[in-house]
Amino acid sequence: MEDNLLLDAIERYRNGEMTGEEKTFFEELRKNNAAIDQVVAEHNFFLTELEKMSELTSFKQSLNEVESKLINEGVISHKGLKGKAKISFLWSRYRRTIAVAASIAGLVSIATATIVSTYSEKKNVAAITPLVDNKLHQMEHKINQIENKINVASAAASRVAVKPKFEANFRATGFLADGNGYIITNAHVVKDARNLIVENKKGEQFSANAVYVNKNTDLAILKITDTSFQKLTDLPYTFTKSPTELGEHIFTLGYPREEIVYGEGYLSAKSGYFGDTTSYQVSISVNPGNSGGPVVNKNGEVIGIISGKETNADGVVFAIKSKNIYDALKDVIKKDSIKLPVKNTLKGLDRVQQIKWLEDYVYMIKGN
């Protein structure tokens, strides 16, 4: 309570509310007691700051009131500038831009005029498009397919033979092991297939042959046989031989739908079904069609390939270890000249960027 009395006294002294007697007593006290003097000095400083703030606050308030009064009177323009002032202001600000824009506008209008006169006969097409639009939604899939075929056909325009009508009865995933068109997938995907087609994200389709099928490791390697396939240079990912640790975050890309789908999870066991040491158990959400998709760690290294999931349990998925890819490729390397990717450019990128890079190398595999 004594402190309170002191603070009270200080404030009364400051405000000149003390009687002459009190004032003398207070001043004496301050002079004789250094501790009290310290408190007084500190509190004075504090009160000065508080007063400054309070004065400023009320000044700002007056200023705002004056301001809104003047805005109402039109002395201060309310929003932006009006009339002549605004035009001259805009003119001085954008003079150069306007000059450039004006000359571009000239060019464009000439160009547009040319285009319009050239293509005016196409007006009819534009007029009926909106009617088709509603149906487009349902037809999208079919149109996509047709488009794809057209793409492929035009890409392979030099070839005379038109592709036979292809009706797929399964769909899975695979990914490039080499820029020359070697694709890794599961053996169970291709084992009974007569014809194989691979399709990339853009919807370009290429026919492919299985050049290696190993039912024991459940790995297969396909080779794109279409000449329209443009060879890709360095792959952005590598295949890791070192073991992956439990709990490591992983992700996969695959084609459980007609569109590429991303899924993420973690490594849950270092062995697969019934203790199979050539596989990992991973926890990731997959669906039919994900088979053969790459399992990638955070550094962008492929640690395995999705191979299957346990039917009676949820979230128990198996992935073949990458080490087996090496073994499989060794066999093929002898016959063909496959170059395994050596440089990983995905490391350090954020996930979205990694996926952007990676998705061009993941293929949908269809067959019958």
Partner 1 sequence: MNIYEQEKQLLEAFVSNDRIAIERIYRENFPSIQAFIIKNNGYADDAKDIFQEAMIILFQKAKLDSFVLTCQIKTYLYSVCRRLWLKKLQRENRYNHVTDLFKETIAVEDEIEAHEKQNAEMNLMEKALSKIGEPCKGILEAFYIHKKTMPEIAEAFEYTNADNAKTQKYKCLIRLKKIFFSQYKNGE
Q: Which residue's CB is nearer to partner 1, number 52 or number 249?
A: 52
Q: Which residue's CB is nearer to partner 1, number 63 or number 139?
A: 63
CB of residue 66 to partner 1, shortest distance in Å: 5
CB of residue 305 to partner 1, shortest distance in Å: 52
Interface positions with partner 1 (CB under 8 A): 3-4, 7, 42-43, 46-47, 49-60, 62-63, 65-67, 69-70, 75-77, 79-81, 85, 89, 92-93
Q: Which residue's CB is nearer to partner 1, number 60 or number 141?
A: 60
Q: Which residue's CB is nearer to partner 1, number 19 or number 92?
A: 92
CB of residue 71 to partner 1, shortest distance in Å: 9
> SS3 string of the chain?
CHHHHHHHHHHHHHCCCCCHHHHHHHHHHHHHCHHHHHHHHHHHHHHHHHHHHHHHHHHHHHHHHHHHHHHHHCCCCCCCCCHHHHHHHHHHHHHHHHHHHHHHHHHHHHHHHHHHHHHHHHHHHHHHHHHHHHHHHHHHHHHHHHHHHHHHHHHCCCCCCCCCCCCCCEEEEEEEEECCCEEEEEHHHHCCCCCEEEECCCCCEEEEEEEEEECCCCEEEEEECCCCCCCCCCCCCEECCCCCCCCCEEEEEECCCCCCEEEEEEEEECCCHHHCCCEEEEECCCCCCCCCCEEEECCCEEEEEEEEECCCCCCCEEEEECHHHHHHHHHHHHHCCCCCCCCCCCCCCCHHHHHHHHHHHEEEEEEC
Q: Which residue's CB is nearer to partner 1, number 85 or number 146?
A: 85
Q: Which residue's CB is nearer to partner 1, number 77 or number 227?
A: 77
CB of residue 18 to partner 1, shortest distance in Å: 17
CB of residue 98 to partner 1, shortest distance in Å: 15
CB of residue 102 to partner 1, shortest distance in Å: 21
